[in-house]
Every structure is written in structure tokens, then in C-alpha cells.
A and B are shown apart, each in its own frame.
Chain A
Amino acid sequence: MNFGFTEEQELLRQEVRKFLDANAPMEAVRKLAETPEGFSRALWKQIGALGWLGLTIPEAHGGAGLGLVDLVVVLEETGRTLFPSPLLATTLAAAAIRDAGSEAQRARWLPGLAEGSAIGTIAVVEAGDRLDPGGVRLAGRREGGDWRITGEKLQVLDGATADLLVVAFRTGSGDGEIALGVVERGTPGLTAETTPSIDGTRRVARLRCEGVRVAGDALLGAPGAAGPALARLLDQAAAVVTAETIGAAEGALRLTVDYARERVQFGSPIGRFQGVKHPLAEMYVDVESFKSLLYYAAWCLDQGDPEAPRFVSMAKAYAGEAFARIGIDGVQLHGGVGYTWEYDIQLYLKRSKWARAAFGDPDHHYDRVARLRTEAR
């Protein structure tokens, strides 16, 4: 039994942290957040070269062949500094192709995603806001060996910059009749429009498909059989968001603790007052706790352990609630300056609004936990 990171993983953490401290301090993050694309192509190339993008891609296809647990190490750090990049989106597209694609499809798309020459994403959420195969309405129509898809996707991470989009669509009206198709940017009928988020470090888009052609050989797995793959992808998505949330929540906590040690009122650092100290202690309790849940969830996903869905949901639900609280308490404990554009704590609060909703809010995941417990017997 060993519930900890290996030496290699700790080294990876140090490297990532060093790189981000040097190349993406908070001033740089703020500047990037105001650019149209919302990230730096130059830094993207560098992190591709450093191997972050290919971490979980098989070695045969240009990656390092590691697991989600290793990726968690990177994501904790990118979360800590709110590093803006299409890392989550690309990772998820790669996971879909790695898990559900054929060897030929892997060889075709994974190397580009690993080196960073292609940005990837997944397009799942639609109006109706259901996060399960039943929520997929976007319709596919067979045309020879190909498919034509029509409909709209929402909340597509980095949808406007993605080169490869893994799109979930319907092949029939039955519950599980779902397909995952890879659509390349520039395909006729495909348009993506960025929908501004209060979290300026994130880019999400509304995706329109009007008779977009998905070639038969761009379907991941057999048509109409991608329900399980989609379910797994949604678990991975919830897990990577939560991994970043660990870092972001720790970042917010650290900022607030530092402030509480410096800010003097009534002749004393405010951190001496229990009205300040106790909420900070609670933040710590919460972060450590959803962190433990997420680590185990990631391990379960890597092992194909059947406990994965339950632990993903517990981790995501807990993180969603806790980070929301941390964002609010963090700003409030800063007092007036916490409300200012200039102080960084507000950036974390805004991240918490995105992270809470992304790939299932706490209610959604608690409902699933309850279902898993009450239906098991």
C-alpha cells in the first residue's frame, strides 16, 4: 500500500512548477487572459516539447505512456497558477482517441496531439444540460459509409482553436445509440464561436454543425456503440477538472493565508483571530479531503477499477462545493482589496464558478453517488 507520488512524479512536479513560475507568473496569466485566443502559442509549443501534452499518450504514438495519476501532477500545477492553455481539452481528445480509437486512428491523430501541433477538444454538452449519453441530441444521418451531423454543442473547451474535435452524436433514437466522431477544423458546415466566460483564463465555445461530414473512418469504435466510451470520457473530464481544482484551491488558500499573516488590524495580524483562522483551517480540511478522493479516483481510472465512477463523482462534487466556498471566503477575508481587479484572489473566485459547473455540478454528482449506493442493493 502506498498512497503517495513516486520520486519521478515529484520531480515532474518540480519541473512543471519551475517552468510555470518562470514563464507564466500571474502578470503573464492576466495578459494572456485578455488576448482573443486566451493562451500563448509559443508556450504551448514549449510544453509540447517538454512532454506535458503527450504524458498519457502511448509511447508508440509519440507520448510517454503514463497514466492519469501522472497527469494529475501536472494539472495540480497548472491549476495553481491558473495557467491558460488548451491542455485539458487536448488531453481529453487524446484520451478519447486512445481509449476508443483503432490503432490506425491512434497513429493518425495522437502524434500531433502529443507534440502540440494539433489542439484537440471534446464536444459533449448540449442545450438541456444533461451529462449522459441520453443527453446527446445532435443528430447523425448515414450517407454511404459516412455520417452527416447537424446540431449544436455548448461549453466546448477551446472549441474555437481546436484542430480536432471529438464530437458525440446520435446514430439512432435508442438510449445507447451514440457515436464519437473526430471532426477536423475547417470542415464545411462547422462553426465555432467563443462564448465569453467570467473566468477569463478559460475559452469555451458554441459549436454549430450543419450537415458536417464525419467520414466513416473517423468514428471511434462502431457507430451506435460509443455510450460506454462517452461515459468514461465524462468521468475523465470530471477528474481532470478536479485535478486542476486541487491546485487552484491550494493557490487561493495560500494567497489568503499569506494575506492573513501580513494584514494588521486591531494591532495584530488578522490571522490570529479565529474568525479568520478557522475558515482558513476549514479550507485546508476540504482541499486535503477532495484531493484524497481525486487521487484515488485517478488511480481507479488508470486501473479500470469499477469504483472509478463513484470516486470521480465524490471528488468532483466535494471539489465543486469546497472551491466555491474557498473562492468566496478567500475574497471576503481579503476585505475590500479582495474585490479589486488588481488583487489575484478574484481570479480564483472566477475559476471556481467555472470549475463548479464544468462536467457536472455537485448536485449532478451527488445524485449519481446516491444512485450508485441505492441501486446496488
Chain B
Amino acid sequence: MDFQLTPEEETFRAEVRAFLDEMLPPGTHTMDPAFLAEWHRRVREKRWVGFSWPREVGGGGGSIMQQVILKEEMAKRKAPPLGTCFMGLAWVGPAIIQYGTEAQKQRFVPDILDGKVQWCTGYSEPGSGSDLASLQCRGVRDGEHYVVNGQKIWTSIAMWSKWIILLVRTGPPGVEHKHDGITCLLVEMDTPGITVRPIRNMSGGAMFAEVFFDDVRVPVGNRLGEEGQGWKVTVSALAHERSSIAEVEGLLRKLDELVELARRAVKNGRPALEDDGVRRRIARCETRIEAMRMNGLRFLTKQLKGEPLGAETSINKLHRAALEVEMGDLALEIQGSAGHLEKEVEGGRWQRFALNWPEVVIGGGTPNIQRNIIGERVLGLPKD
């Protein structure tokens, strides 16, 4: 066991810190669009966008460890997001690098790295959520095109996206063997026949949408991977960039804010932070967060040794889900009887936080599905 970084890694950390000191001095208005553009440009210049991607496609060619350091430092500093390309950077880019043709790589990857093009993910359908492989949206080959008909749902940021990575069923009708016959297509959102309808969520915002496909013609050249291999493309793309270390930094910052809230809020006539129950629940959250960090380091060690990560990463997804709910509830309880008021305390940021947990808990697979994965793939219990 050894948690020390090598001198080279320490040097890299220092370089990242110095850069962040320069770019993000206290008081920086990180949500200003001009600043965000400049921020992206400067980080890109350092080749820290797509840092672990191969240099041939414009990535940074960085090591896993450097990537972890970079993410950790950025999260500690609450650095702004890079460009508008979350999904592009998280899995669309890696999927194209792994499965794309030369032409696709040249066409799509630079734009993702430059933060120019927003991507969204069209996997889920009204009838196919947890059971994703049961999806029905169809793609029928017609000469040099696939003609797509069907519906997607819960498509995050669909209304602001230029492209969608889409799963369609291309297998012959009748042979609906679940994982086979699924194909992955890259589709431009302004193709005729696509309709996007935003869905309002319970905290009042709308960041996901329904997407309808009505005889949408997609060039065969926009197929990612072979016909019928869409499941494989999806699974390995989602397995990319699974480091949870940066998330932990964000959660710890959130916990600090919760402590500050408890210092100011009054409960039973004294600062909530003096309440044993509140204190223990804060400590419990901290313990779960640090457990996530330590689990993450154990997973990282496996990766560094070149071993593939398996179902064990579901551990941290479950922790994260429980924490989001616990911390949101705790924040409202600290506020006492005012906890239900929409905007009274700190402009209602904790209320929004306490209502937005589904983004983490449901998006990307629900807790029950994670428990099935652990029960079956790790503990060897019989399948559902």
C-alpha cells in the first residue's frame, strides 16, 4: 500500500494548480459566457480537454493517474465545466475513437474537443428504461440510408444539442433477440422528421425531452460500428472515464456548505450544528463520501495494473445515490419548519438540490439495477 505520488505526478499537480490559480482567482465569474469560452480555449491549449484520449485524434495522451490528478484539482477548485460538451467528452468521443471510421474521427472528434458541438444520448424509450435492450425505435436500411421511426425519452439536453448518439433496432422483424440487432447511429438533430418536446421535471426545470423520429433518413456513413453491434458500442463507451474521485471532491465541498448552513440555522433554539443528531448525520455523510474516495482509489489501482473494472463500480453509484438523497433531506431538516419554503433560505438552492436527486439516482441505471448487478455478477446469485 502506498499513497504517495511519484515526483513526476507531483510536478504535474503543481502545474495544474498554478494554471488554476491563474485562471480562477477568487471572485472569477465562472458562468459568464465570454469567460467560459476563454476558459475552454486555454484548457484546450494545454491539451487537458480529452486528456486521456490518444494524441493522434487531438487528445492529451495523458496517463490514468494524471487524469485523476487533473480532475481532482479541477473539482477542488470548482472549475467550470468544459465547453458545452459533457456527453461528447464523457462517452460519445471515446465511443467514436474506439469504434469510428477514420472519416468519423476526423469529422467529430475535433469539434468535441473544441467545445463546439453539443451531443445528447438517445438510448431510453418509454417502454425501455432499465431494460434498455428491449428498445423498439426502428432503423430500416433503404439504399445508402437508414430510415428511423420511433420515440426516445428522458433525452437530457436534447433541445440544445446538435447531434444525438442513437440506438435503433435494425434486426429483421420477428427476430427480436434482445441484444442483437441493435445498431448505433450518429444523427444530426436538424434532420427533417425529428421533433423535440421538453419535459418539465419536479423541481420546475426542463433539461430532458422526448424526441420523436418520423421517417428520419440517416446516411449509412453515420453508423458507428457494425450493423447489429450497437449494444457492444454502448456498453464499452459507458465504461469509459469511470473515475469517481472528482465527484468526491464536489460532494465534500457540498458537505462544507452544509456545515456552514448548520452553523447559521437555528434548531430548537440553538445553532443546528450543536445538535447531536445533525452532527452525527453530517459525520455519516462524510464517512460515506470518504468511503467512495477510498473505493475509487482501490478501483484506480486495478486500472493502473491494467485489470478491467467490473461490476464493483456499482458500489459507488449506490453510495452516490444514497448520499444525494440524504444530504438533500438533511439540508432541509437543518432549516427546520422553514425547510419546505421554496426560496426563503439561500435563495432556495438547497430546495432545488433536495429535488434534483433523480438526476443521479435514476439517470444511468437505478439503485435496484445496481443491486442486481452486484448480486449476480459479484456474489454469484442466480439471475432475476
A282 CB–B CB distance under 8 Å:
yes
B279 CB–A CB distance under 8 Å:
yes
Chain A, Cβ-Cβ closest to B302: A4
CB contact under 8 A between A285 and B283, given known A1-B304, A257-B381, A272-B382 = no
B254 CB–A CB distance under 8 Å:
no
- B290 near A274 with CB under 8 A, answer no
CA distance A257 to B380 in the complex (A): 8
Q: Collect the chain A residues with CB atoms within 8 Å of residue B305's CB.
A: 4
- B381 near A271 with CB under 8 A, answer yes
In the complex, what's the smallest C-beta–C-beta distance from A180 to chain B, in angstroms? Answer: 29
- A272 near B371 with CB under 8 A, answer no
On chain B, the number of residues with a Cβ less than 8 Å from chain A's Cβ atoms is 48
Q: Of A80-88, A114-122, A311-319, which stretch is located at the interface?
A: A311-319
CB contact under 8 A between A2 and B381, given known A277-B371, A289-B319, A292-B294 = no
Chain B, Cβ-Cβ closest to A295: B1
In the complex, what's the smallest C-beta–C-beta distance from B50 to chain A, in angstroms? Answer: 23
CA distance A247 to B208 in the complex (A): 45
Q: Collect the chain B residues with CB atoms within 8 Å of residue A281's CB.
A: 370-372, 374-375, 378-379
In the complex, what's the smallest C-beta–C-beta distance from B73 to chain A, in angstroms? Answer: 15
Chain B, Cβ-Cβ closest to A272: B382
Interface residues of A in 255-308 (CB under 8 A from B): 257, 260-261, 268-269, 271-272, 274, 276-278, 280-282, 284-285, 288-290, 292-293, 295-296, 299
CA distance A200 to B6 in the complex (A): 48
- A289 near B382 with CB under 8 A, answer no
- A2 near B291 with CB under 8 A, answer no
Give which listed residue, A268, A271, A290, A370, contacts B280 with CB less than 8 A.
A370
Residue of A4, A257, A260, A311 with most partner-chain B CB within 10 A:
A4
- A1 near B381 with CB under 8 A, answer no
B201 CB–A CB distance under 8 Å:
no
A74 CB–B CB distance under 8 Å:
no
Q: Of A188-196, A231-239, A361-369, which stretch is located at the interface?
A: A361-369
- A285 near B286 with CB under 8 A, answer no
- B304 near A2 with CB under 8 A, answer yes
Chain A, Cβ-Cβ closest to B370: A281
CA distance A228 to B65 in the complex (A): 37
Query: Can you sample 28 A-B contacts with CB below 8 Å?
Result: A1-B4, A1-B65, A1-B304, A6-B1, A69-B1, A257-B379, A257-B380, A261-B380, A261-B382, A268-B382, A271-B382, A272-B381, A281-B370, A281-B374, A284-B315, A284-B374, A285-B319, A285-B374, A289-B292, A289-B319, A293-B290, A293-B291, A299-B1, A314-B283, A314-B286, A367-B276, A373-B283, A374-B263
Given A257-B380, A274-B372, A314-B287, output 12 extra A-B contacts at Cβ < 8 Å: A1-B2, A1-B65, A3-B294, A5-B1, A6-B1, A288-B315, A289-B319, A293-B294, A296-B297, A318-B288, A363-B280, A374-B263
Residues of B near any A CB (own CB < 8 A) = 1-5, 9, 65, 259, 263, 273, 276, 279-280, 282-284, 286-288, 290-292, 294-295, 297-298, 300-301, 304-305, 312, 315, 318-319, 368, 370-372, 374-376, 378-384
